[in-house]
Structure 1
Amino acid sequence: MPTRADPFGPWFSLGLDMWMLGAEASSVIALRTLKLAGGGAAARAEAERMVSEKFAAAMTLSQQAMLGQLGTSIPDIGAKAVASYRRKVRANRKRLSRA
Protein backbone atom coordinates (compact mmCIF):
# COMPACT_ATOMS: atom_id res chain seq x y z
CA MET A 1 0.00 0.00 0.00
CA PRO A 2 1.43 3.40 -0.93
CA THR A 3 2.53 5.71 1.86
CA ARG A 4 3.63 9.30 2.01
CA ALA A 5 7.30 8.20 2.18
CA ASP A 6 6.84 5.75 -0.70
CA PRO A 7 3.96 7.04 -2.87
CA PHE A 8 4.19 4.20 -5.42
CA GLY A 9 4.34 1.38 -2.89
CA PRO A 10 7.01 -1.16 -2.00
CA TRP A 11 6.64 -3.18 -5.20
CA PHE A 12 7.45 -0.19 -7.39
CA SER A 13 10.52 0.61 -5.29
CA LEU A 14 11.65 -3.00 -5.44
CA GLY A 15 11.18 -3.05 -9.20
CA LEU A 16 13.20 0.14 -9.58
CA ASP A 17 15.97 -1.23 -7.34
CA MET A 18 16.05 -4.43 -9.40
CA TRP A 19 16.26 -2.43 -12.61
CA MET A 20 19.16 -0.43 -11.18
CA LEU A 21 20.89 -3.65 -10.12
CA GLY A 22 20.59 -4.91 -13.68
CA ALA A 23 22.02 -1.69 -15.12
CA GLU A 24 24.91 -1.67 -12.64
CA ALA A 25 25.61 -5.36 -13.21
CA SER A 26 25.78 -4.75 -16.96
CA SER A 27 28.63 -2.31 -16.49
CA VAL A 28 30.48 -4.79 -14.24
CA ILE A 29 30.00 -7.51 -16.86
CA ALA A 30 31.50 -5.23 -19.51
CA LEU A 31 34.47 -4.31 -17.30
CA ARG A 32 35.09 -7.93 -16.34
CA THR A 33 34.86 -9.04 -19.97
CA LEU A 34 37.59 -6.56 -20.88
CA LYS A 35 39.75 -7.76 -18.01
CA LEU A 36 39.23 -11.43 -18.91
CA ALA A 37 39.93 -10.72 -22.59
CA GLY A 38 43.33 -9.37 -21.56
CA GLY A 39 44.31 -12.81 -20.32
CA GLY A 40 47.17 -13.61 -18.04
CA ALA A 41 47.38 -13.80 -14.27
CA ALA A 42 45.07 -10.81 -13.75
CA ALA A 43 42.32 -12.46 -15.80
CA ARG A 44 42.72 -15.73 -13.93
CA ALA A 45 42.53 -13.95 -10.56
CA GLU A 46 39.43 -12.03 -11.68
CA ALA A 47 37.69 -15.20 -12.84
CA GLU A 48 38.42 -16.93 -9.54
CA ARG A 49 37.30 -13.88 -7.58
CA MET A 50 34.09 -13.62 -9.60
CA VAL A 51 33.09 -17.21 -8.87
CA SER A 52 33.98 -17.09 -5.18
CA GLU A 53 32.14 -13.77 -4.68
CA LYS A 54 28.98 -15.13 -6.28
CA PHE A 55 29.06 -18.25 -4.14
CA ALA A 56 29.72 -16.27 -0.93
CA ALA A 57 26.93 -13.79 -1.69
CA ALA A 58 24.42 -16.57 -2.34
CA MET A 59 25.41 -18.41 0.85
CA THR A 60 25.20 -15.24 2.94
CA LEU A 61 21.74 -14.34 1.66
CA SER A 62 20.51 -17.91 2.09
CA GLN A 63 21.69 -17.90 5.68
CA GLN A 64 20.10 -14.51 6.38
CA ALA A 65 16.82 -15.68 4.84
CA MET A 66 16.77 -18.84 6.95
CA LEU A 67 17.45 -16.84 10.11
CA GLY A 68 14.73 -14.29 9.29
CA GLN A 69 17.21 -11.42 9.05
CA LEU A 70 15.88 -10.12 5.74
CA GLY A 71 12.48 -9.05 7.03
CA THR A 72 8.97 -10.33 7.37
CA SER A 73 7.22 -9.27 4.17
CA ILE A 74 8.05 -10.28 0.63
CA PRO A 75 8.86 -6.72 -0.51
CA ASP A 76 11.14 -6.23 2.50
CA ILE A 77 12.96 -9.49 1.85
CA GLY A 78 13.39 -8.61 -1.82
CA ALA A 79 14.55 -5.07 -1.06
CA LYS A 80 17.18 -6.25 1.43
CA ALA A 81 18.42 -8.97 -0.91
CA VAL A 82 18.69 -6.55 -3.85
CA ALA A 83 20.41 -3.94 -1.64
CA SER A 84 22.98 -6.54 -0.61
CA TYR A 85 23.75 -7.45 -4.21
CA ARG A 86 23.85 -3.78 -5.27
CA ARG A 87 26.49 -3.01 -2.63
CA LYS A 88 28.66 -5.81 -3.96
CA VAL A 89 28.12 -4.81 -7.60
CA ARG A 90 28.98 -1.17 -6.83
CA ALA A 91 32.18 -2.23 -5.06
CA ASN A 92 33.16 -4.36 -8.07
CA ARG A 93 32.42 -1.54 -10.51
CA LYS A 94 34.55 0.85 -8.49
CA ARG A 95 37.41 -1.65 -8.21
CA LEU A 96 37.33 -2.61 -11.90
CA SER A 97 37.07 1.01 -13.05
CA ARG A 98 40.32 1.91 -11.32
CA ALA A 99 42.35 -0.71 -13.14
Structure 2
Amino acid sequence: MMLSWMNYGYDAAMLTFEAQQVIGLRLAKLSAGGPAAALEATLMVNEKIAAAWEAGATLAAGGSGHKVLKRYRRHVGANYRRLKRRR
Protein backbone atom coordinates (compact mmCIF):
# COMPACT_ATOMS: atom_id res chain seq x y z
CA MET A 1 0.00 0.00 0.00
CA MET A 2 2.73 2.47 0.93
CA LEU A 3 4.68 1.65 -2.23
CA SER A 4 1.70 2.44 -4.45
CA TRP A 5 1.33 5.88 -2.81
CA MET A 6 5.03 6.50 -3.24
CA ASN A 7 4.79 5.57 -6.92
CA TYR A 8 1.79 7.85 -7.31
CA GLY A 9 3.65 10.70 -5.60
CA TYR A 10 6.70 10.18 -7.78
CA ASP A 11 4.62 10.16 -10.98
CA ALA A 12 2.76 13.29 -9.87
CA ALA A 13 6.00 15.13 -9.10
CA MET A 14 7.57 14.08 -12.39
CA LEU A 15 4.47 15.12 -14.33
CA THR A 16 4.71 18.55 -12.72
CA PHE A 17 8.37 18.90 -13.68
CA GLU A 18 7.90 17.57 -17.22
CA ALA A 19 4.83 19.73 -17.85
CA GLN A 20 6.78 22.85 -16.87
CA GLN A 21 9.39 21.99 -19.48
CA VAL A 22 6.71 21.59 -22.16
CA ILE A 23 5.09 24.87 -21.10
CA GLY A 24 8.43 26.65 -21.51
CA LEU A 25 9.02 25.19 -24.96
CA ARG A 26 5.48 26.02 -26.03
CA LEU A 27 5.74 29.59 -24.79
CA ALA A 28 8.93 30.04 -26.77
CA LYS A 29 7.24 28.70 -29.88
CA LEU A 30 4.11 30.80 -29.40
CA SER A 31 6.10 33.96 -28.75
CA ALA A 32 7.91 33.52 -32.07
CA GLY A 33 4.56 33.87 -33.84
CA GLY A 34 3.80 32.85 -37.39
CA PRO A 35 2.12 29.77 -38.82
CA ALA A 36 4.08 27.41 -36.55
CA ALA A 37 2.73 29.21 -33.48
CA ALA A 38 -0.84 29.07 -34.78
CA LEU A 39 -0.49 25.36 -35.46
CA GLU A 40 0.95 24.77 -31.99
CA ALA A 41 -1.92 26.65 -30.36
CA THR A 42 -4.47 24.58 -32.26
CA LEU A 43 -2.64 21.36 -31.46
CA MET A 44 -2.43 22.30 -27.79
CA VAL A 45 -6.19 22.90 -27.49
CA ASN A 46 -7.05 19.71 -29.39
CA GLU A 47 -4.69 17.70 -27.16
CA LYS A 48 -6.32 19.07 -24.01
CA ILE A 49 -9.78 18.09 -25.23
CA ALA A 50 -8.63 14.60 -26.26
CA ALA A 51 -6.81 14.09 -22.94
CA ALA A 52 -9.91 15.07 -20.96
CA TRP A 53 -12.05 12.61 -22.91
CA GLU A 54 -9.44 9.88 -22.52
CA ALA A 55 -9.17 10.46 -18.77
CA GLY A 56 -12.93 10.42 -18.38
CA ALA A 57 -13.25 7.20 -20.36
CA THR A 58 -10.49 5.56 -18.32
CA LEU A 59 -12.15 6.50 -15.04
CA ALA A 60 -15.62 5.52 -16.30
CA ALA A 61 -14.25 2.11 -17.27
CA GLY A 62 -12.98 1.60 -13.73
CA GLY A 63 -9.39 2.75 -14.26
CA SER A 64 -7.49 4.40 -11.47
CA GLY A 65 -6.32 7.97 -11.13
CA HIS A 66 -2.77 6.65 -11.21
CA LYS A 67 -3.42 5.08 -14.60
CA VAL A 68 -4.65 8.45 -15.89
CA LEU A 69 -1.59 10.15 -14.40
CA LYS A 70 0.80 7.74 -16.09
CA ARG A 71 -0.97 8.23 -19.41
CA TYR A 72 -0.67 12.02 -19.06
CA ARG A 73 3.06 11.55 -18.46
CA ARG A 74 3.34 9.67 -21.74
CA HIS A 75 1.52 12.47 -23.59
CA VAL A 76 3.64 15.16 -21.95
CA GLY A 77 6.82 13.22 -22.74
CA ALA A 78 5.82 12.91 -26.37
CA ASN A 79 5.16 16.65 -26.54
CA TYR A 80 8.53 17.38 -24.96
CA ARG A 81 10.36 15.21 -27.49
CA ARG A 82 8.43 16.79 -30.39
CA LEU A 83 9.01 20.35 -29.26
CA LYS A 84 12.67 19.77 -28.38
CA ARG A 85 13.33 18.31 -31.83
CA ARG A 86 11.94 21.36 -33.63
CA ARG A 87 13.82 24.06 -31.72
TM range, smaller chain: over 0.9
Is 1:50 paired with 2:44? Answer: yes
Structure 2 counterpart of 1:82, one-letter code = L
Structure 2 counterpart of 1:91, one-letter code = A
Larger Rg: 1
Per-residue CA distance 1:12-54 (angstroms, 9 max, x = gap)? 1101110000000000000000000000110000001001001
Distance in 2 between the 1:92 and 1:41 partners? 18
Partner of 1:64: 58
Is 1:94 paired with 2:57? Answer: no
Q: Which runs of 5+ in 2 are unaligned?
A: none
Aligned pair count? 86
Instruction: Find runs of 4+ consecutive structure 1 residues off by over 3 angstroms.
Output: none
Partner of 1:80: 67
Q: Which has the higher contact order (CA 8 A, sep 6+)?
A: 2
Q: Which runs of 5+ in 1 are unaligned?
A: 3-8, 71-76
TM-score by length of 1: 0.83
